Structure 1
């Protein structure tokens, strides 16, 4: 869209690997927990895409940077929030949204459904190694959306500040699926039997903390999200993505085909 971009994070070498010199993207050191990195990261920046790192489970850990954005007269912040968060105060996203709004920084919250990348990322280990989807979602349905589509929605609001100032957008995929259906799609595309384990919360928590070695705060947040899913908050299908971009969201089948290697057993 012709915008000048700064990519900010804690690992400069990793950022340089993602955004090589040909992309024209500037790199800046930034850490939510180190206030002395804020000034340089915000230098000459007038709009911000804000994403909570998974390991920071407390909303208060993002407040100092939100205050810094206000002091730097940011024209718009697009926060990566969560579908249904306006009705649920449990996950940290709710308080972060409210803090941004109360700070009077112009905002455009993006509230997506569950990422398709959750399946190809953190949950792909069990699919590869055990031919199982291991999430405590019960029989609930989820309107999965590709992170690439979420990125396009965020780029759209940041590119059109006046149009989307002080708005919130719930964006989803085009279909709601339960994890038994997800397992069927994986089985069909990967040409091997994938099943949905449907563990309880405690079994899931113990496995991800003790066997996978993941951070307790991160695992607890995911449990809260799956609890919400069981309450039906992830099943809604909206036109939010189409209304922003004029395009249809990608399907889970397309995503699995394009990311087949994520689910393939390592030799």
Structure 2
């Protein structure tokens, strides 16, 4: 049988796919641009068209599939957007779905991840939720623009600390879970990096790595939201979700450091400094 990876070209999905291939699994890489998936993974996967908003794409994506990596696309802000596909997984008797959730979401009903987790559980689909800390790739990705152009980290996280994790480590964790579905059936795993850092410390690390003075601007929620919608041109739904996540961060939900990654993989997760050195070009 096969494993379906949704969002296979994304930060986490491409690592999930790569690790599953190394494990000898037959992977179906799904996304809205199959040709791009073929370019990335060559002939190592079955590349299929898939869109959560297009129910006609479900049948082909789930053909001969018994395990699924499920991630919510950032532009789909409502949990209900994923419910039709989750219903389809139920009808296909999926042995295990590993949903890319969020650290601390089991105690917080604000982010859409909470309701998605609950919906999967209520339908009785065997699950292995992955609840990572904030991605290091958020800083090298969407937030790198201000770092490159203004030497600033423009994030409304206050003085809070975050146990950042590399998407590469998340992908490996997910692959381990999907490779052993019976072992990890109906489980949840909070995976983090090796340390909790505030954004002043992140700025110090980036300053060392880039040789430039990087500062933490520490904007308020409204200033951040206005800037990202009006100046960066990002979708309101996406920005609103990030505001909710940074609100959670200020409440202390992102600071815990766990050893779940080591328990799953037997390895130590990457530090932010290791990540910054490896991805230095993103900040230059």
- For the aligned pair, the TM-score class normalised by the smaller chain equals over 0.9
Q: Which residue of 2 aligns with 1:110?
A: 130
1:96 matched to which residue of 2?
116
Q: Which runs of structure 2 are paired with 1:143-154 in the superposition (5 Å)?
A: 143-154=163-174
Secondary structure in structure 2 of the residue aligned to 1:46: strand
CA–CA distance in structure 2, aligned partners of residues 18 and 73 of structure 1: 29
Q: Is 2:42 aligned against 1:20?
A: yes
Deviation at 1:181, TM superposition (A): 0.1
2:20 paired residue number: none
Answer yes or no: is 1:140 the counterpart of 2:160. yes
CA shift for structure 1 position 17: 2.2
**Alpha-carbon distance between aligned partners in 2 of 1:190 and 1:17, rounded to the nearest angstrom:** 31
Report the secondary structure of 1:149's partner residue: helix
Aligned to 2:206: 186
Deviations along 1:131-181, whole A, 9 cap, x unmatched?
A: 000000000000000000000000000001111000000000000000000
Aligned-residue CA RMSD (Å): 0.5
In the alignment, which residue of structure 1 is the partner of 2:13? none
CA distance in 2, matches of 1:211, 1:15: 31
**Runs (5+) with no aligned partner, structure 2:** 1-22
* Off by >2 Å, runs of 4+ in structure 1: none
**Which digits, 9 at most, give the CA deviation of each residue in 1:74-100, with x for residues without a partner?**
000000000000000000000000000
Q: How does 1:155-194 map to 2 (within 5 A)?
A: 155-194=175-214
Output the CA distance in 2 between the equivalents of 1:34 and 1:194: 43
Q: Structure 1: give runs of 5+ residues left out of the alignment.
A: none
Q: Give the equivalent residue in structure 1 for 2:281.
A: 261
Partner of 2:7: none
CA–CA distance in 2 between the matches of 1:130 and 1:14?
A: 32
What TM-score comes out, normalization by structure 1 length?
0.97
TM-score in terms of structure 2 length: 0.92
